[in-house]
């Protein structure tokens, strides 16, 4: 069985809808797998085989009660500049392409996607497929492999999700439907209106009208909710939280990557976390985080032009760098092979550490575990840089039979590491936050692991969808003869 979730736009709630369906089917005893043929995101993850995949499919796999695997997202596009993306195929970097080059190339991927999908279908009871953006992007429909093109590969019925919170929901539903070809329209079997605030009775006349216009039923009205889960992979998505006594600021780099590294702080009640764009917003912060970057050199230059560089040199609290942010905290970053800018290009760093980073083509992607300051951690590495002269590494990494040291720190003030997801581990997050609590005279607390809390949130998500979406209708769709 299979069902596909498409949307009227980006960020309308496709990813979270797929996650909800995966959890519901898993709760009902099915072996279920998420699948998104092509994803564009700077939030990526490394599976147990060291293969890279989009973060949204990771959450969906966790909702399905299975380990994330790269075949759930065989094509991942990671923007490197405004015009180019790194194309990752089945978890491995293929090459950097501009939009025109990739548009011409993607027809070559259709057979590969079909092969992977058929393999999944043979090994699971249900496949929940996610589209990307909107199926009505008429300039992108040729050789489509992610929306109606994917529905055709899977011979799947489609549920269309529309975001009412932005306004114009009925126009977006009607416009999307009418821009499709007749055969594509036949695949759409139900509409879910997402992110609704207010009394559902107010929608009654609108629902009756749209159903009569397109002859497709509205099968759910999902209320606006604020669960502590990753939503879409879209660039605008950031999790923030206010009203805590501990103030954490994350610098919103132009090419920020893996900003889900900080979602775990949502579960610490005394923490405020905010993504910032201006140096003045550092005022009152206890810790500033320099996150990962898909273009370390250009984002380091942006730190200087924007004024963050000078303010960080004066900053009195903790400075914590992850991956590209860690590289920026050293003496120098050198693009040896021209992967980000041009061969031999370099930029002076913040010089908190005596490190030098060489950007090389050998990309390290691995799931790791270990400890930091004696605290248990697990996470993953995704980076092309090699950093030398780190005098005080604080992370002891265990990878298969290999043990090695990572990162650098100084004076309990400057910390840098290549480990994404290091804050997900409650023991280490407690250690860092308790340094701040002790300094501020706040009671010491223990943080929880993100994995534990995520399970609670996924079950809440399933409850919301069961209460507001006709799940029996979706089961009936999947079980109908093709």
pLDDT at 118 over 70: yes
Each residue's pLDDT tens digit, 281-333: 999 999 999 999 989 999 999 999 999 999 999 999 999 999 999 999 999 99
Contact indicator for 132, 147 with CB cutoff of 8 Å? yes
Q: Domain 2-230+455-479 is classified in which CATH homologous superfamily?
A: P-loop containing nucleotide triphosphate hydrolases (3.40.50.300)
How buried is residue 244: exposed, middle or buried, by Cβ count under 10 Å (0-12/13-18/19+)? middle
Positions of CATH 3.40.50.880 in the chain: 246-441
Q: What is the pLDDT of residue 236?
A: 47
Q: What is the pLDDT of residue 120?
A: 97
Tokens of 204: 């009654």
How buried is residue 399: exposed, middle or buried, by Cβ count under 10 Å (0-12/13-18/19+)? middle
pLDDT at 232 over 80: no
Residue 410 and residue 113: Cα distance in Å, rounded? 47
Mean pLDDT of all residues belonging to the chain: 91
Helix (H) / strand (E) containing 88:
strand 84-89
Question: What residues form DSSP beta bridges with 294?
Answer: none
Mean pLDDT of 33-51: 89
Each residue's pLDDT tens digit, 441-457: 999 999 988 888 889 99
Residue 173 and residue 397: Cα distance in Å, rounded? 49
Each residue's pLDDT tens digit, 396-419: 998 877 889 999 999 999 999 999
Choice between 117 and 47, residue whose per-residue pLDDT is larger: 117
The model's confidence at residue 80, banded by pLDDT at 50, 70 and 90, is: confident
Q: What is the pLDDT of residue 40?
A: 87
pLDDT at 482 over 60: no
Residue 378 and residue 367: Cα distance in Å, rounded? 8
Strands 84-89 and 52-54: unpaired
How far out from the chain centre does Cα 421 lie?
A: 12
Lowest mean pLDDT across 1-5, 38-42, 472-476: 38-42
The model's confidence at residue 235, banded by pLDDT at 50, 70 and 90, is: very low
Positions of CATH 3.40.50.300 in the chain: 2-230+455-479
Helix (H) / strand (E) containing 111:
helix 110-123
Strand order in the sheet with 84-89: 38-40, 75-79, 84-89, 92-98
Q: Percentage of the chain surpassing pLDDT 90?
A: 71
Contact indicator for 348, 305 with CB cutoff of 8 Å? no
Query: pTM (2 decimals)?
Result: 0.83
Choice between 197 and 341, residue whose per-residue pLDDT is larger: 197
447-450 long-range contacts, Cβ below 8 Å, gap at least 24? 447/264, 447/267, 447/268, 448/267, 449/424, 449/425, 450/263, 450/264, 450/267, 450/423, 450/424, 450/425, 450/426
pLDDT at 137 over 70: yes
Q: Which CATH architecture has domain 246-441?
A: 3-Layer(aba) Sandwich (3.40)
pLDDT at 338 over 70: yes
Q: Which residues are catalytic?
A: 323, 420
Q: Rounded to the nearest 5°, which phi and psi values hold at 305? A: -65, -40
């Amino acid at each position: 069985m299979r069902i596909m979730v498409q949307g009227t736009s980006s960020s309308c709630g496709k990813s979270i809808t797929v996650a909800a369906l995966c959890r519901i089917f898993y709760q009902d005893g099915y072996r279920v797998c998420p699948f998104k043929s092509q994803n564009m995101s700077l939030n990526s993850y490394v599976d147990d085989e060291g293969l890279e995949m989009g973060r949204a499919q990771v959450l969906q796999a966790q909702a399905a009660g299975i380990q994330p695997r790269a075949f759930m997202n065989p094509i991942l596009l990671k923007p490197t500049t405004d015009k180019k993306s790194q194309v990752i195929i089945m978890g491995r970097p293929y090459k950097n392409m501009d939009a025109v080059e990739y548009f011409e190339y993607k027809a070559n991927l259709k057979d590969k996607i079909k092969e992977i999908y058929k393999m999944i279908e043979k090994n699971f009871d249900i496949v929940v497929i996610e589209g990307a953006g909107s199926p009505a992007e008429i300039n992108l429909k040729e050789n489509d492999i992610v929306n109606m093109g994917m529905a055709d590969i899977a011979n799947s019925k489609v549920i269309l999700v529309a975001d009412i919170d932005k306004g114009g929901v009925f126009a977006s539903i009607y416009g999307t439907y009418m821009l499709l070809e007749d055969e594509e329209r036949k695949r759409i079997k139900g509409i879910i209106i997402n992110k609704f605030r207010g009394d559902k009775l107010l929608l009654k006349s609108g629902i009756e009208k749209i159903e009569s216009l397109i002859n497709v039923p509205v099968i759910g009205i999902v209320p606006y909710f604020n669960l502590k889960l990753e939503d879409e992979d879209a660039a605008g998505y950031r999790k923030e939280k206010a009203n805590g006594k501990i103030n954490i600021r994350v610098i919103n780099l132009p090419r920020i990557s893996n900003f889900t590294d900080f979602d775990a702080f949502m579960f610490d009640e005394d923490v405020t976390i905010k993504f910032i764009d201006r140096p003045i917003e550092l005022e009152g912060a206890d810790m500033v985080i320099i996150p990962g970057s898909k273009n370390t050199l250009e984002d380091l230059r942006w730190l200087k032009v924007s004024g963050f560089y000078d303010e960080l040199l004066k900053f009195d609290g903790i400075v914590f760098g992850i991956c590209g942010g860690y590289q920026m905290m050293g003496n120098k970053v050198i693009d040896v092979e021209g992967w980000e800018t041009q061969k031999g290009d370099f930029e002076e760093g913040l010089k908190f550490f005596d490190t030098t980073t060489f950007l090389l083509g050998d990309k390290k992607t691995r799931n790791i575990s270990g400890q930091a300051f004696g605290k248990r951690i697990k996470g993953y590495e995704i980076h092309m840089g090699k950093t030398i002269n780190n005098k005080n590494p604080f992370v002891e990494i265990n990878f298969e039979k290999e043990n090695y040291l990572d990162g650098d720190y100084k004076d309990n003030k400057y910390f840098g590491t290549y480990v994404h997801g290091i804050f997900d581990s409650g023991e280490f997050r407690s250690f860092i936050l308790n340094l701040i609590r002790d300094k501020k005279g706040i009671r010491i607390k223990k943080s929880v692991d993100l994995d534990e809390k995520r399970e609670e949130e996924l079950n809440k998500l399933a409850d919301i969808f069961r209460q507001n979406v006709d799940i029996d209708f979706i089961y009936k769709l999947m079980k109908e003869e093709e």
